[in-house]
């Protein structure tokens, strides 16, 4: 290394004691104000470069694979407009009833995930946040329907880590937690059951699903 110091632009031999040590450890660089009378006000970044030699270890690979988590929590955001082209525009123009289908099996497709279970739901009605209104939400596996309420344009569940919300009282969307994520969920909005609500400003309905993925 002493012969190659000029290659790595090393000013002296101060860092040579670290030569040959492992890279997979904790590194700490301490900058002392005492040794830097001009201070660090003009410092905008710090670049540390390691020149290393890596080798493959089949044993270490298997060890790392075995240590990987068996599951992880993930979130999926699905657009009602994108999933149901023209449906909301027609609903704004003519009223009546609109049914939005959210195909999570298609949206959450990931070959690395073998099993997906729903944890929590959030529905956001963009533009219809003036007053509360009711609607129906349903699953296909199993076939189930619940009446839910949008408050300020939002309807959500409070299962799992959110169980303390709403004073601990389970919300209607909790009925759809713990289900297979790979299915079609539907939201039905009917002007007949929501009198006085101006749906002319309803531009989008988003479905956010938190789910647990197993590998």
- 79-122 per-position pLDDT tens digit: 999 999 999 999 999 999 999 999 999 887 788 888 999 999 99
Per-residue confidence (pLDDT) for residue 18, from 0 to 100: 73
- Give the contacts of 61 (CB within 8 A, at least 6 positions apart): none
User: Residue 8: what pLDDT?
Assistant: 60
Over the chain, what is the mean pLDDT?
89
For the cut 60, the answer to whether the pLDDT of residue 10 exceeds it is: no
Among residues 129, 137, 133, the alpha carbon closest in space to that of 99 is found at 137
Distance CA 49, CA 26 (A): 15
> What is residue 3's predicted lDDT score, i.e. its pLDDT?
60
What integer is the mean pLDDT of 163-174?
91
Lowest-confidence range among 2-6, 13-17, 107-111, 131-135?
2-6
Q: Which of 3-17, 96-110, 146-160 has the lowest mean pLDDT?
A: 3-17
Residues 54-86 as b or e (16 or more Cβ within 10 Å = b): eeeeeeeeeeeeeeeeeeeebebebebbebbee
- Predicted pLDDT of residue 168: 86
Region of residue 20 (left: phi > 0; alpha: psi -120 to 50; beta: else) = left
Cα(196)–Cα(51) distance, integer angstroms: 69
Q: Give me the percent of the chain exceeding a pLDDT of 90.
A: 58
| Token pair in block for residue 16 | 């040579």
pLDDT at 4 over 80: no
CATH topology assigned to domain 72-214: Jelly Rolls (2.60.120)
Q: What does the pLDDT read at residue 51?
A: 78
In this prediction, residue 167 carries a pLDDT of 84
Which is nearest to 87 in space by CA: 204, 208, 206, 201? 204
21-59: pLDDT as tens digits: 778 888 888 888 777 777 888 888 888 888 787 888 899
For residues 133 and 46, give the distance between their C-alpha atoms in angstroms, rounded to a whole number: 54
């Amino acid at each position: 290394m002493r012969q190659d110091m000029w290659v790595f632009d090393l000013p002296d031999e101060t860092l040579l004691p670290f030569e040959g040590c492992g890279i997979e450890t904790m590194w700490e660089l301490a900058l002392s104000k005492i040794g830097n009378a001009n201070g660090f006000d003009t410092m905008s970044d710090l670049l540390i470069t390691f020149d290393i030699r890596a080798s493959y270890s089949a044993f270490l690979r298997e060890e790392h694979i075995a240590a990987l988590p068996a599951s992880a929590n993930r979130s999926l955001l699905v657009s009602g407009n994108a999933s149901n082209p023209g449906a909301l525009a027609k609903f704004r123009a003519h009223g009546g009833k609109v049914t939005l289908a959210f195909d999570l099996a298609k949206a959450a497709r990931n070959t690395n995930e073998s099993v997906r279970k729903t944890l929590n739901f959030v529905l956001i009605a963009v533009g219809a946040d003036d007053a509360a209104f009711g609607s129906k939400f349903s699953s296909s596996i199993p076939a189930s329907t619940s009446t839910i309420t949008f408050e300020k344009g939002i309807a959500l569940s409070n299962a799992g880590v959110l169980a303390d919300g709403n004073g601990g009282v389970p919300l209607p969307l909790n009925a759809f937690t713990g289900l297979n994520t790979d299915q079609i969920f539907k939201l039905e909005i009917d002007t007949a059951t929501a009198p006085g609500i101006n749906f002319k400003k309803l531009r989008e309905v988003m479905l956010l699903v938190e789910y647990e993925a197993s590998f």
